[in-house]
Amino acid sequence: MRYLALPLLSQNLTESTARAQTLSLYLQLSLQVSLSQRNESTMSSSSSSLPSCPKKVVTLKSSEGETFEIEEIAALQSKTLENMIDENCADTPIPLPNIKGKILAKVVEYCNKHAEVGVDAESLRAWDAEFVNVENTTVFDYILAANFLEIPTLLDLTCQSVADMIKGKTPAEIEKTFNIKSAFTPEEEEQVRRENQWAFE
């Protein structure tokens, strides 16, 4: 038989569990009916069969010399890599001296995830949120890597997460979050504030 996977992401379990069980029972009954009807008719092969040709792979080399493989279809998320693939320059390992191995591994993971088919938007968003739930230093490394490799979705994701750390904060709070040293004298700072007083009200 097929399996029914019911991952529950809920904070309020008691009422929801009762609903879940009722729903699951009803659905199983309906499923049995529709699936048995389907089994009677001839079925063409399912669309989830694997393609017979081998998948093309691109090799990337980090600044420390470590190599990482990425399927061509996932590599297309990077405009830089896409250009190289189009120009047939992607058959040998591509050196990326600006990107450390630790970061490159995660970037490859990001591209692989976003190239997957059949992932619903909700779970992809949750995955993305988890992906940028890391130390500031790592997020900045992601930004630089995404910029260099021209991966617009990763660039937006990482810049948005930094923007979220800035939004609504006072300058003092921003300085503390990012270890920015002001170097303005109090008089200079006062003058700068006065130029755009409205932003500080």
- Provide the binding-site residues for other proteins, judged by CB under 8 A: 2-12, 16, 19-20, 22-23, 26-27, 30-31, 33-35, 37-38, 43, 46, 118, 120, 122-123, 135-137, 140, 143-144, 147, 155-156, 159-160, 162-164, 166-171, 174-175, 178-184, 189, 192-193, 195-201
Using the 8-state DSSP alphabet, how is residue 43 labeled? -
What's the closest the beta carbon of residue 99 comes to other proteins, in angstroms?
A: 15
Nearer to other proteins, 19 or 55 (CB): 19
Tell me how far, at minimum, the Cβ of 185 lies from other proteins, in Å: 11
CB of 58 to other proteins, least distance (A): 25
| Residue 82 contacts residue 118 (beta carbons within 8 Å) | no
Nearer to other proteins, 4 or 53 (CB): 4
Round to the nearest angstrom and report the end-to-end CA distance of the chain. 64
Q: Please say which residue, 112 or 147, places its beta carbon nearer to other proteins.
A: 147
Least distance to other proteins, CB of residue 184, Å: 7
Choice between 86 and 184, CB closer to other proteins: 184
Of the candidates 179, 171, 200, 106, the residue with the CA atom closest to the CA atom of residue 144 = 106
Kindly tell me which of 36 and 92 has the beta carbon lying closer to other proteins.
Answer: 36
For the CA atoms of the chain, what is the radius of gyration? 25
Read off the tokens for 9.
Answer: 């992401």
In angstroms, give the least distance from the CB of 64 to other proteins. Answer: 17
Q: Where are the alpha helices (DSSP H) in the chain?
A: 13-40, 72-75, 79-86, 101-115, 121-131, 136-149, 152-166, 171-178, 186-195
DSSP state of 91: S
Please state, in angstroms and rounded to a whole number, the distance separating the CA atoms of residues 113 and 74.
Answer: 8
